[in-house]
Amino acid sequence: MASRAKVRGGEKQQQSLSLGRETVEELEKEAERRGLNKSQLADLLLNGQLTQSADKPTIISIMSYKGGVAKTTTSTCLAVCLSELGYKVLVIDMDGQGNVSQSLGVYDPRSEEACIADVLYQATPSSPRMSLSEVMRTTDYENVFCVPSNFRFADADTRLKAEIAGGVDTRLLYAIEDLIDETARSGERKFDYIIIDCGPRLDMTTTNAIVALEAGNNASHIIIPIKVDGYAIAGLSQTIDTINRTARERRRLPQHWKILQTMIERNTSAYKYGCQMMKEAIPNAEYFNTKIEKSTVVPEASLAMEPLIKYDPNSKPAISYRLLAQEIEEMNA
């Protein structure tokens, strides 16, 4: 399986040089951010010292205003399934609940370890801002890395707002770009996928995760997990509004998003009626072909603090998450 990822990386070397910045104005901003003038930036680009699009990961932000719809379960399962396909994956925990960090075994209840808060703002007046690579941890799963979160990130929205002059927040985007450049310079294997697990809110943590997709390749996208019921549909339109509003503020096209149906009970009339309602409410939505079945094995895995894929690899939802990873892999083809 590892060779599949490798071959694919080779094919991408044909692609053109790009920083993911599409306008002259954005290139100028990039030069300013890196403390360079335009010709220095151009030199670095021409000498291949800045990230080429071939080195960019696929970034997947998993978000929904509605809580408890399997954002974290999907983040963890997808990370482990993609690593099983031979990819190197980084999971960024953007939720102060730290659930994805818990299920990957890197949650520190005493919150002494550095976390995403230390990257995005000064977590305490004396603490320095850190890079993602300084905060990143290995996990028990080969090729799965995690930037953890904990309750120090619980007031992230207020803290992020306090340290920004205005406009859309690009701190996570720039932290990821720096990580990509750093990995390329060090000669280490690049990350194939970066998965960002958001909390159930539409605040600065979520907009950071939307804008962060700009650091990824063309297959980067947002997954909106949805448990098909009336309340989830209401949360869905608010999530889509946030994605569209962020795009307008960035003067870009909205990031590509797709709905993942989770906890489905396929043959029930409630599920069938819910699907119909969803089609009427959001007629142009794209859906993953894969749907995740409801099963008691999922809460059991979370009680055991283990990714479902390891806890019960042959369960129906585990098999579906593997199919989802393949569907996502195909988006890169």
State yes or no: residue 290 binds ligand ATP (CB under 6 A): no
Q: How far is the CB of 315 from ligand ATP (least distance, A)?
A: 9
Q: Nearest approach, Cβ of 62 to ligand ATP (angstroms)?
A: 8
- Part of the chain binding ligand ATP (CB under 6 A), chosen from 25-33, 159-167, 248-256, 297-305: 297-305
Report the nearest approach of ligand ATP to the CB of residue 103 (Å).
Answer: 9
Q: Convert residues 153-192 into a mask of x (bound to ligand ATP by CB under 6 A) and - (unbound).
A: ----------------------------------------
295 binds, among ligand ATP, Mg ion, none (CB under 5 to 8 A by kind): ligand ATP
- Rounded distance between C-alpha atoms, residue 101 and residue 65, angstroms: 20
Binding of residue 67 to ligand ATP (CB under 6 A): yes
Q: Under the criterion CB under 6 A, does residue 200 sit at the interface with ligand ATP?
A: yes
Find which of ligand ATP, Mg ion, none residue 147 binds, CB within 5 to 8 Å per kind. Answer: none
Residue with CB nearest Mg ion? 72
By a kind-dependent CB cut-off of 5 to 8 A, residue 216 interacts, out of ligand ATP, Mg ion, none, with none
Selected from 61, 150, 170, 262, the binder of ligand ATP by CB under 6 A is 262
Closest to ligand ATP by CB, 200 or 254: 200
- Span 44-103, contacts to Mg ion by CB under 5 A: 71-72, 99
Return the range that interacts with ligand ATP (CB under 6 A); candidates 13-21, 154-162, 272-280, 296-304. 296-304
Taking CB under 6 A as the criterion, which residues in 76-105 touch ligand ATP? 95, 99
**Cβ(79)–Cβ(132) below 8 Å:** no
70 binding ligand ATP? (CB under 6 A): yes
Does 136 bind ligand ATP (CB under 6 A)? Our answer is no
> Which of these, 31, 163, 150, 36, lies nearest to 100 by C-alpha position?
150
Q: Can you give the three-state secondary structure of the chain, one letter per residue?
A: CHHHHHHHHHHHCCCCCCCCCCCHHHHHHHHHHCCCCHHHHHHHHHCCCCCCHHHCCEEEEECCCCCCCCHHHHHHHHHHHHHHCCCCEEEEEECCCCHHHHHCCCCCCCCCCCCHHHHHCCCCCCCCCCCHHHHCEECCCCCEEEECCCHHHCCHHHHHHHCCCCCCCCHHHHHHHHHHHHHHHHCCCCCCEEEEEECCCCCHHHHHHHHHHHHCCCCCEEEEEEECCHHHHHHHHHHHHHHHHHHHHHCCCCCCEEEEEECECCCCHHHHHHHHHHHHHCCCCCECCCCCECCCHHHHHHHCCCCHHHHCCCCHHHHHHHHHHHHHHHHCC
Binding to Mg ion (CB under 5 A) within 268-307 occurs at none
- Integer angstrom CA distances of residue 311 from 137, 141, 144, 316: 21, 13, 16, 12
Q: Residue count at the site for ligand ATP (CB under 6 A)?
A: 20
Q: Least Å distance between CB 198 and ligand ATP?
A: 8
Residues that bind ligand ATP (CB under 6 A): 67-73, 95, 99, 199-200, 262-263, 292, 294-295, 298-299, 302, 317
Which residues sit at the interface with Mg ion, rule CB under 5 A?
A: 71-72, 99
